[in-house]
Structure 1
Amino acid sequence: MTLVNDEAPPAVRSAGRKFRAFTVKHLDELTARAGLSPEQRLATRAVATVLPFRTNSYVVDELIDWSAAPDDPIYRLVFPQPDMLPADDVAHIVDLLRREAPRQEIDAAATKVRASLNPHPAGQLELNVPSFGDGAVPGMQHKYDETVLYFPKQGQTCHAYCTYCFRWAQFVGDPDLKLAGDDAGQLRDYVLAHPEVTSVLFTGGDAMIMGESVLRRYVEPLLALEQLESIRIGTKSLAYWPQKFVTDPDADDMLRLFEQVVESGKNLAFMAHFTHPRELEPVMVREAVRRIRDTGAVIRTQAPLIRSINDDPADWESMWRTQTRMGMVPYYMFVERDTGPQDYFAVPLARAYDIFRDAYKSVSGLARTVRGPSMSATPGKVCVDGVLELGGEKVFALHFIQCRDADLVGKPFFAKYDPAAVWLDDLKPAFADRFPFEV
């Protein structure tokens, strides 16, 4: 593949192609194509020593508008930006790279920066990993009673990495930061021992990086469990490698596995991550969506609101309309989580609500299945319902969509209005000394 074509090829060109990944070793060549100067390319490499970089030929050839790079939203979606990290940290690593410092010294500097980026938000290690049998269950999170998250060891990468990804710590090669399990029997036994669990979500990374035979080893033992109502698969494969379901060697086998889940009486919820309308345009995506839906699976769509990529109501309106037309179900608009380069990508909650409302009011009722803007915070999923005046005070109206304390789900509460707030921790309670989840 040539990396200097000026025009993106038509979507159908990918049919039958094998997957080809681009990693840090390709970064200098690709960023040169985007018109970056040598100094800018070096700064980009510095950021990529801290945060993971991976993309592929489909994203490079068919989604990025290279004539608009580096400002193109898809380019910004997958390529590190020099100002994503504190300037002093970037300058230090740039200096190390420039003088070709030993790899050990560069890695130590990168590790130090990572430690400051809250690699595991919302108490993921301290609060969410359950104990069972002889100890903690590797690769499992159990935050809400009815839902278990499982991180298969073989699914701990993606077809491409998003620059804003809140699971970036899974991809940097540090085993102390990674969540991963490979014992399908332990997963089944844990669910069976916890009758309150009605849904299992396979996540990662991306569960769809796995081949059919590997995914089957995790899924099949769950199909006989009467208590389970749904199996969910969290994935961005429809946006980054739709060939997975159309032309990949095991595409048909994967779809037969989906059919088997549905035939067992479970709801197969395919949790598709679309961040920008352009990801929905290629012919290959539409064919992949059709084939998945034909198995009986339900495709629900979600993404975070990201500054410089999709912080425009027109983008969300376009996505929700297109997704509805294609038979998918708009599900969540998330707030960028308090991890990684949050300061670079975050949109203030007041602005996030305006963007959500402006898009929401412009779509039909069929697309208004979507919820948001929602923060996946330590106590639960907090939705911003609006800004209003009560008793002469301007406040945010909020409620829990999900909560560690199930009694708080759906109950409204209020926070003092703060135009600069980007996360729950930035807010102060209104009309009370503390928030309900702090009592």
Structure 2
Amino acid sequence: MAGPTYITDIRKVVQIPAAERERLADVARKFAFRANDYYLSLIDWSDPDDPLRKIAVPDPEELAEWGSLDASAESAYVVAPGMEHKYDQTVLLLASDLCAGYCRYCFRKRLFMHRTDEVARDVSADIDYISRDPEITNVLISGGDPLFLATPRLERIVRQVRRIEHVKIVRIGTKVPAFNPYRILDDPALPAMLSRYSTPEKRIYIMTQFNHPRELTDPAVRALDALQNAGAVLANQTPLLRGVNDDPVVLADLFRSLSFVGAAPYYLFQCRPTLGNRHFAVPVEEGYRIYEQAKSRCSGLAKRSVFAMSHRTGKIAVVGLDEENIYFKYHQAARREDIGKFMVFRRCPKAVWFDDYTDIVREGRISDAEEKEEIRPPPLPA
């Protein structure tokens, strides 16, 4: 069958009343819009609060002046064009600036705010950097969305990475199975390519992004099955999003459904304070309660996710909450000595990011100087 039709002009989404389309066009002029008729068909247009609509369709609330375009300071870790090296064993290779759809909550919207055409990147400098560092065992290919690249173009990147002996894991981060499963179902060359490079000794991991259980349609599940049959290992990550999955019942349904189809939950991320994302933000402490309540409705395989913030200093897991304090631990860190570091803060119910807690400390709202020094976040690398 023919694949979905892509739409980049919000004024052509006929399900939206004409007057509203014009208002939303103002938002799309700042933060680009891109979707397809398959994904738009999943939206209940009679419900203005439909969660899939919130994922794909612009909202005037995006124009609120809140957050930054590089909320996790990714630019501080750029080591080659389109490549970041934040953690010792892992590099992030941005293969493309284009996605099958632009998530309204995207934390890399700076890459495509003023661009709607695919950009083919020369990754030779990236490959050279990886080749010269034997400590790198993991390469995460992301973007943009790598699976939106033509298969021959993606294969050229995967092939070059696979030639590096010390790289054992290739990860591909993608929302294509949710946004356009027909990209996988209608191109047998893609699973065939994955099967050539996902070997018993060196697996390819597909890091999917399903945010809501309604995205797990029959075509999406069949696409995931094709990826698994090609030898890829699947895992899912999603941010916690207000109005999308911030209900424990909905989140539990998502976790369970993912475990059933073999894409077990991997990370539940606190939504980054990116420009345009204020209306998606759930306070950290509320998010932790939602996460724990959702897990209580799940079996073991659906409980494996980590609730974390992808902070400029590392992945900070939220590990506990009591009447007075909230407890964090560095699940991963830019500085090796911080990995596993345990941190205790006074509760702050309105906090939406780790910096909200450290700001309280810096402003002197706790008096113990020794405690203040202990929980100060590490500086960015020089």
Listed one character per residue, the Cα deviations across residues 158-211 of structure 1 (whole Å, up to 9, x for unaligned) are: 111111111111111269xx9x87333322221111111111111111011111
How many equivalent residue pairs?
Answer: 369
Are 1:219 and 2:158 an aligned pair?
yes
Question: Following TM superposition, where does structure 1 have runs of at least 4 consecutive aligned residues deviating by more than 2 angstroms?
Answer: 40-43, 180-188, 428-431, 436-439
Partner of 2:78: 129
What is the distance in 1 between the residues matched to 2:197 and 2:71? 32
| Residue aligned with 1:375, SS | strand
Partner of 1:387: 321
Partner of 2:50: 72
Contact 1:151/1:181 (<8 A) preserved: no
Contact 1:184/1:217 (<8 A) preserved: no
Structure 1 counterpart of 2:306, one-letter code: R
| Residue aligned with 2:2, SS | coil
Partner of 1:231: 170
Determine what percentage of the aligned residue pairs are the same residue. Answer: 32
What is the distance in 1 between the residues matched to 2:74 and 2:221? 35
Partner of 2:32: 52
Q: Please, which of 236, 243, 246 is the counterpart of residue 301 of structure 1?
A: 236
| Residue aligned with 1:344, SS | helix
Q: Please, which of 274, 279, 283 is the counterpart of residue 344 of structure 1?
A: 279
Normalization by structure 1: what TM-score? 0.80
Q: Please, which of 143, 146, 157 is the counterpart of residue 86 of structure 2?
A: 143
Q: Which has the larger radius of gyration?
A: 1
Contact 2:81/2:126 (<8 A) preserved: no
Structure 2 counterpart of 1:85, one-letter code: L
Partner of 1:84: 62
Structure 1 unaligned runs (5+)? 1-15, 87-112, 131-136
What is the distance in 1 between the residues matched to 2:235 and 2:355? 29
Where relative contact order (Cα < 8 A, 6+ residues apart) is larger, the structure is 2
What is the distance in 2 between the residues matched to 1:50 and 1:188? 33
Partner of 1:104: none
What is the distance in 1 between the residues matched to 2:183 and 2:219? 10
Deviation at 1:229, TM superposition (A): 1.5
Contact 2:141/2:173 (<8 A) preserved: yes
Contact 1:212/1:254 (<8 A) preserved: yes
Structure 1 counterpart of 2:72, one-letter code: A
Partner of 2:3: 18
Partner of 1:252: 188
Partner of 2:15: 33
Normalization by structure 2: what TM-score? 0.91
Contact 1:275/1:303 (<8 A) preserved: yes
What is the distance in 2 between the residues matched to 1:183 and 1:28? 34
Structure 2 counterpart of 1:274, one-letter code: F
Deviation at 1:409, TM superposition (A): 1.5
Contact 2:237/2:269 (<8 A) preserved: yes
Listed one character per residue, the Cα deviations across residues 234-293 of structure 1 (whole Å, up to 9, x for unaligned) are: 10001000011111xxx221111111112273221100000111001x211111111110
What is the distance in 1 between the residues matched to 2:283 and 2:329? 18
Structure 1 counterpart of 2:193, one-letter code: L
Using a 3 Å threshold, how does the CA distance of structure 1 residues 293 and 174 change in structure 2: closer, same or farther? closer
Partner of 1:437: 377
What is the distance in 1 between the residues matched to 2:218 and 2:60? 33
Structure 2 unaligned runs (5+)? none
Please give the residue correspondences for 1:160-171 in structure 2 after superposition, counting only pairs within 5 Å. 160-171=101-112
Contact 1:139/1:181 (<8 A) preserved: no
